[in-house]
Structure formats: structure tokens, C-alpha cells
Amino acid sequence: MTTIDADLPERYRALLLSALDCVVTMDHEGRVVEWNPAAERTFGWSAAEAAGQDMADLIVPPSLRERHRAGLARYLAGGAPVVLDRRVEITAMRRDGTEFPCELTITRTLQPGAPLFVGYLRDITERHTAEAELHASRVRIVTAADDARRRLERDLHDGAQQHLVGLAMTLRLARRKLFDDPEFVAELLDEAIGDLATATDELRELARGLHPAVLTEGGLQPALVSLAKRAAVPVTIVAAPEERLDPTVEITAYFVVAEALTNVARYAEATQAEVGVEHVGGVLHVEVRDDGRGGATMDGGSGLRGLLDRVSAIGGTLFVESPEGVGTLLRAELPCGS
């Protein structure tokens, strides 16, 4: 049970009890004087157990205890404060010995007698995790962009470029034979027309993968219809916005649906899928549902991971619900203004 000095002013006691951050008070000998409920929850020691104990033994990792005690002794001997009245990040320790990143601020109370120090601590594990994920996401985005450029270069070299090189050679030969063998030149020109048509088709296909023309010209509704027609399983469009949206939002929604339908065809063993895209309250809600085998996870492959990075880059969220044997629902929420 939480214990706080009954002689403390009632308002101060109420603040200690209700504070979301850990508030701990230490005397000049390094022993615990006060220990609020947030400290109990974070560190695992009750206020009754903590009272009078050496603060270093309770929450400071063994590797840092001597530094903590030396710093306190140096300050009490008249040395300049190092962490006093500053917000710093340190490593703290729970009762079970696990260590975690912590934000700490220490102040000295203004009162007569021996010094008394108040520490305000906040577990910042989630912040560190989020920062690490943000860094990893940026690395994945850069890597994906580099991979896409290399893939585009390879596709151009192996596809359209080869057709265009062949076209140039055919035309040069036709020029040399223009007066000597008109019938052969006619055959060469027919061949050149075929090479040109093939190269044009391949370039158009590449461009569609980069940014589909139907999306640029007509918006999400015709672009989703086009995706549904090309899908390997029957797809029903249950909702699609008729109005135009921010181009970044439109292309993100398009690739969410495209990747989802690709996954349905490759992995889901589904017989049908549904796509719904609705603009409600400044958020574009994108849903792709199938009746396949389920079991999809966000960590299952680079495709969904790449989608998560793309969606997160514009401040959106991506969710996957995929119980085994029930099918999969992929849902994205993309902020797009009112």
C-alpha cells in the first residue's frame, strides 16, 4: 500500500498520488523518503518497501551505482552539479533486474536542514522503440527506392532498350537497301513497326507500375476498376470515391489495393475479394477483404512491410486482421483533409 508522509500538505500529497510520472524523494544519504504510486508501478517496489532504502540499490543498475554515489558525494562536498535541474536520459532498473531507458529530472528542495532531492522519472521505452522503428522505416524506404531504381534500369535494359536497339539496326539496314531491294525494305519496315509497338507496350507497362495513367487522368474510381479487371481472382468494388483527392493520398491508396490484391492472388488461396475505399471525415479508409486461408502478418514479407512504410510516410496507419481459415482484411487509414 502506498505510504506518503501524513504531515505533507494535502495538495502536495494529492499531486504525488495522482502523478503519471514517477516522483521519488531522496535524502542526503541517498535513501528513499517518498515514493509515489507511479514509482510503485514502474519499478515494482511498494512505497513501504522502498522507504529508507538506498536509492541506488533499488533503481540504479549495478554498473552505474558507484558513479551515482560518487556524484552525490561530490555535490555534497561543494562540487558543481552535473545532473541537477536538467532533463537527462539514463538507464534505470526494475525490481526484477530488467533495465530500461528513463528520462530523469532532479531538483533540490528549498528547505532548511540537510539537502533533500526530488527525482521525476519517466519510462521512455516506447519512445525509444518508436524512434528505432522510424529509423528502420527510413532505411527500408531508401533501400526500396534503390532497389526500384536498379529494377527499373534492368527492365529497361532487358526490355524496351533491346527492342529500340534492334529497331535502330533494322532501320539502318533498310536505308542501305532502300534502292537495291524495295521488297526487302518493306519487310524490314514491317519488322521495325513491330519492334516499336513492343517497346511502346513495355514502356507503358513500366510506367503503369511507377504511376498508372488511369489514376492520373481519372482518379481512384477508374484506377480501382482497372486493378479489379486485371486481378487473378474475382474482385468486387463495393465503394470508391468519385472526387479527386491529394495525388499522394491517391497513389498510396492505389498501391495499398494493388499490393493487397497481389497477395490475395499469390498466397491467400481465395475465391473472391472485395475492395472498399471511402472518404469520411478527412480520412480515406481503404479496405481489401478476401475469403482465403488467412494467417497473414505484417512481418510475413517485404510487401506489407513496404506498404506500412509508404502509409506511415504520409501519417497513415495500416492494419491486418487475418485469423487462420477465415480470410484476411487489410485496412489503411490515410489522412487527407476535409
Q: Which of 194, 210, 226 is the last residue of a domain?
A: 210
136 in the same domain as 119: no
pLDDT digits (tens, 9 = 90+) for 93-114: 999 999 999 999 999 987 778 8
- Which run of H or E residues covers position 331? strand 328-335
Would the pLDDT of 162 be above 70? yes
| pLDDT computed for residue 1 by the predictor | 42
Provide the domain limits for residue 184: 129-210
Q: What percent of the chain has pLDDT over 90?
A: 42
Both 17 and 115 in one domain: the answer is: yes
Query: Does the residue 4 lie in any domain?
Result: no
- The type of residue at 306 is G
Q: Are the beta carbons of 34 and 4 closer than 8 angstroms?
A: yes
Mark whether 248 and 321 lie in a shared domain: yes
224 and 326 together in one domain: yes
Using the 3D structure, point to which of 145, 177, 210 is the last residue of a domain: 210
Last residue in a domain, options 177, 210, 243: 210
Using the CB atoms, write b or e for 299-333: b if 16+ within 10 Å. eeeeebbbbbbbbeeeebebebebeeeebbbbbbb
Same-domain pairing of 102 and 165: no
Calculate mean pLDDT across residues 313-337.
90
- pLDDT tens per residue, range 182-224: 888 888 888 888 888 877 777 776 666 666 778 888 999 999 9
What's 91's domain CATH number? 3.30.450.20
Q: Are residues 163 and 220 in the same domain?
A: no
pLDDT for res 37: 93
Least confident of 83-87, 157-161, 234-238, 310-314: 157-161
Is there a single domain that holds both residue 176 and residue 80? no
Do both 134 and 117 map to the same domain?
no
324 domain-assigned: yes
The overall pTM is greater than 0.75: no
The structural domain count of the chain equals: 3
Position 1 in a domain: no
Together in a domain, 259 and 248: yes
One domain for residues 238 and 253: yes
> For the segment 289-299, what is each residue's pLDDT rounded down to a tens digit?
999 999 888 77
